[in-house]
C-alpha cells in the first residue's frame, strides 16, 4: 500500500536532507495522490475549509463579466477572446460571468473561448459539466496555449503557490536564513530547521527582501512561483487584461516587524486558521499574503501596464453592483431566499475587514493604441476607477 504523504515526506528528507518549504508545500497541496488540492474532497464552501467570493455568490462573476466585455470592445472586438483562469476550481466565477453575459445578451459571447489551469481533476470535470449545463452548452474549453486576445484571471490562486519562508539573521552572510522542513530526532514528527538558501534561489530571494531587511528572528514568505507566474504572462496573452484578486499587501507592510514578526503564512482546516504549517500534510490548506510590490515590479519588468490597484469592495462598487443588487432584490426572479443570500454575501464581499479588503490588481497588455483605450482616465474601464494605491 502507498505510504501516506507525511511518511513519504519524511522518507524524502531522510534520503536527500531537509527540504525548502516550497517543496513541502508543493507536496502538501498538489501531490497527485495525496495533495490537499488534488483529491475528490470539496475544499471550498460552508462544509469545507474556506469560502471564496465566487463560491459565496455570483456577484463577483457578474462584475468581471462587465470588465471583460468592455476590455474586449476596447481592444477592437477581436473574433476570438479567451477567458484564461488560473485555479478556476469548479468554475463558479466563470459560470457566473457567462450567465451575466447571457442576461445582457452580450456580443462578447460569440467570441468567447475558455482556458483553465486547475490542479484538481475532479474540479475540472465539474467545471466542464457546469459549462455544458449553461444555455447553448457554454463556451468551448481549449487546452492552454498562447492567445492573441483575452482576460487572465487569478482569484485566490497566487496565495496558494509554494513560497519560501525566510528568517531574519542579520549577522549571517545574506541577512537571512531559510526555514526548511526536517524530521525531529527520535520521533517521526516534522520540524523546522534553518538552512542556507540554495545557490539557485538566493539572489532572487535577496532581491525580494531589498529595502525591507528582516530583524532577528522575523519570518517572511517569498513566492518566486508567484513572480514567475506574472513574468510568463506576456508569452500567454498579447492583448487584454490581467486581473489578480487575493489577500495581499505591499512589501513594506508585509515585512514590518511591528506587525508582521511571524509573517503571514497560515494553514486552514474547517474555517479555522493555524500557524502550525507542518501538521497533517495534505489535509490542510496553506497560504500566505501575496506581495503586491513584487507582483507589480515583476509585471512592469515583463512589459505589463499596471492600471488599477484597488480593493474587492471598490471593484464591485464600480462595476455595476447596484444594478445587480436591484435585479436580485426586486427583479422578476427575486425570491426571499435569493434576497437573504444576497444580504449575507454582501456583508462578506463589501466589508473591508473581510473579502471587501482583498486586493484587486489589474494589468493591461496590447498595442499603444489598445493600451490608451484600456487606460483612458476620462472613461475608466469598469472596476479600475478607484485610484492606484501609492506604493510605499
Ligand atoms: C483557494 S482555491 C480558489 C478557487 C477559485 N479561484 C475560487 O475563487 O473559488 C485555489 C484553487 O487553485 C487550485 N490550485 C492550487 N495550486 C494550483 C497549482 N499549482 N496549479 C493549478 N491549480 C492550483 C486549487 O485546486 C483550487 O481550485
Query: Which of the four pLDDT bands, split at 50, 70 and 90, describes residue 322?
Result: confident
d(CA 219, CA 211): 16
Q: 107 pLDDT exceeds 50?
A: yes
Q: 172 and 151 in one domain?
A: no
Question: What's the pLDDT score for residue 134?
Answer: 92
Q: List, in sequence order, the alpha helices (H) in the chain.
A: 5-16, 21-30, 53-56, 59-74, 92-104, 121-132, 199-209, 224-231, 251-254, 292-301, 312-317, 321-330, 336-350, 368-374
- Domain boundaries, position 357: 53-160+227-247+290-374
Q: 113 and 82 in one domain?
A: yes
Distance 90 CA to ligand 1 centre (A): 9
Pocket test for ligand 1, best of 51, 123, 160, 288 (most atoms within 8 A of CB): 160
21: phi then psi, degrees, rounded to nearest 5? -60, -25
Number of structural domains found in the chain: 2
Pocket test for ligand 1, best of 32, 90, 119 (most atoms within 8 A of CB): 119
Q: What is the mean pLDDT of residues 315-328?
A: 87
Residue having the nearest C-alpha atom to atom 12 of ligand 1: 87
Query: Which of the four pLDDT bands, split at 50, 70 and 90, describes residue 212?
Result: very high
Question: What's the pLDDT score for residue 392?
Answer: 34
Q: Is 252 a member of any domain?
A: no
* Nearest atom (ligand 1) to Cα of 154: 6
Of 361, 350, 368, 366, residue with least CA distance to 384 = 361
Q: Is 92 a member of any domain?
A: yes
Q: 2 pLDDT exceeds 50?
A: no
Question: What's the pLDDT score for residue 387?
Answer: 53
Q: 348 and 295 in one domain?
A: yes
Q: What is the mean pLDDT of residues 215-229?
A: 98
Q: What is the mean pLDDT of residues 244-262?
A: 96
* Nearest atom (ligand 1) to Cα of 87: 12
Q: Is 239 a member of any domain?
A: yes
Q: Is 253 a member of any domain?
A: no
Q: What is the pLDDT of residues 345-371, one digit of tens each?
A: 998 999 999 999 999 999 999 999 999
Q: 366 and 237 in one domain?
A: yes
Query: Which of the four pLDDT bands, split at 50, 70 and 90, describes residue 172?
Result: very high
CATH number, domain containing residue 347: 3.40.50.12710
123 vs 377: which has the higher pLDDT: 123
Q: 168 and 154 in one domain?
A: no
Q: 305 and 269 in one domain?
A: no
Q: 35 pLDDT exceeds 60?
A: yes
Which residues have C-beta atoms less than 6 Å from ligand 1?
Answer: 29-30, 37, 44, 52, 54-55, 87-89, 92, 117-120, 123, 155-157, 160-161
Average per-residue pLDDT in the chain?
A: 93
Amino acid at each position: 500500500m502507498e505510504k501516506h504523504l507525511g511518511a513519504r515526506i519524511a522518507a524524502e528528507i531522510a534520503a536527500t536532507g531537509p527540504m525548502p518549504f516550497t517543496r513541502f508545500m508543493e507536496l502538501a497541496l498538489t501531490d497527485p495522490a495525496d495533495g490537499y488540492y488534488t483529491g475528490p474532497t470539496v475544499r471550498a464552501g460552508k462544509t469545507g475549509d474556506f469560502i471564496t467570493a465566487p463560491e459565496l455568490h455570483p456577484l463577483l462573476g457578474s462584475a468581471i463579466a462587465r470588465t471583460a466585455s468592455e476590455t474586449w470592445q476596447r481592444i477592437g472586438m477581436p473574433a476570438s477572446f479567451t477567458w484564461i483562469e488560473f485555479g478556476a476550481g469548479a468554475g463558479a466565477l466563470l459560470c457566473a460571468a457567462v450567465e451575466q453575459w447571457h442576461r445582457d445578451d452580450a456580443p462578447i459571447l460569440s467570441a468567447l473561448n475558455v482556458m483553465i489551469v486547475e490542479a484538481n481533476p475532479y474540479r475540472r470535470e465539474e467545471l466542464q459539466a457546469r459549462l455544458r449545463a449553461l444555455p447553448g452548452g457554454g463556451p468551448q474549453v481549449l487546452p492552454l496555449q498562447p492567445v492573441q486576445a483575452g482576460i487572465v484571471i487569478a482569484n485566490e490562486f497566487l496565495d496558494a503557490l509554494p513560497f519560501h519562508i525566510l528568517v531574519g539573521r542579520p549577522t549571517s552572510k545574506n541577512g537571512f536564513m531559510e526555514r526548511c522542513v526536517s524530521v525531529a530526532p527520535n520521533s517521526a514528527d516534522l520540524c523546522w530547521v534553518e538552512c542556507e538558501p540554495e545557490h539557485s534561489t538566493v539572489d532572487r530571494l535577496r532581491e525580494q527582501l531589498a529595502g525591507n531587511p528582516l530583524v532577528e528572528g522575523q519570518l517572511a514568505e517569498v513566492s518566486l512561483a508567484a513572480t514567475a507566474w506574472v513574468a510568463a504572462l506576456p508569452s500567454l496573452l498579447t492583448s487584454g487584461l490581467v486581473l489578480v484578486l487575493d489577500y495581499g499587501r505591499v512589501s513594506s507592510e508585509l515585512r514590518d516587524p511591528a506587525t508582521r514578526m511571524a509573517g503571514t503564512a497560515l494553514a486552514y482546516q474547517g474555517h479555522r486558521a493555524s500557524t502550525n504549517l507542518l501538521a497533517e500534510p495534505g489535509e490542510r490548506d496553506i497560504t500566505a499574503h501575496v506581495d503586491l510590490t513584487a507582483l507589480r515590479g515583476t509585471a512592469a519588468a515583463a512589459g505589463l501596464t499596471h492600471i488599477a490597484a484597488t480593493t474587492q469592495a471598490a471593484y464591485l462598487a464600480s462595476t455595476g453592483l447596484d444594478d445587480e443588487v436591484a435585479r436580485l432584490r426586486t427583479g422578476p426572479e427575486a425570491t426571499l431566499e435569493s434576497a437573504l443570500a444576497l444580504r449575507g454575501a454582501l456583508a462578506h464581499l463589501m466589508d473591508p475587514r473581510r473579502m471587501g479588503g482583498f486586493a484587486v490588481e489589474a494589468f493591461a497588455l496590447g498595442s499603444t493604441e489598445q493600451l490608451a483605450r484600456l487606460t483612458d482616465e476620462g472613461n475608466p474601464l469598469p472596476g479600475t476607477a478607484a485610484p492606484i494605491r501609492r506604493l510605499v
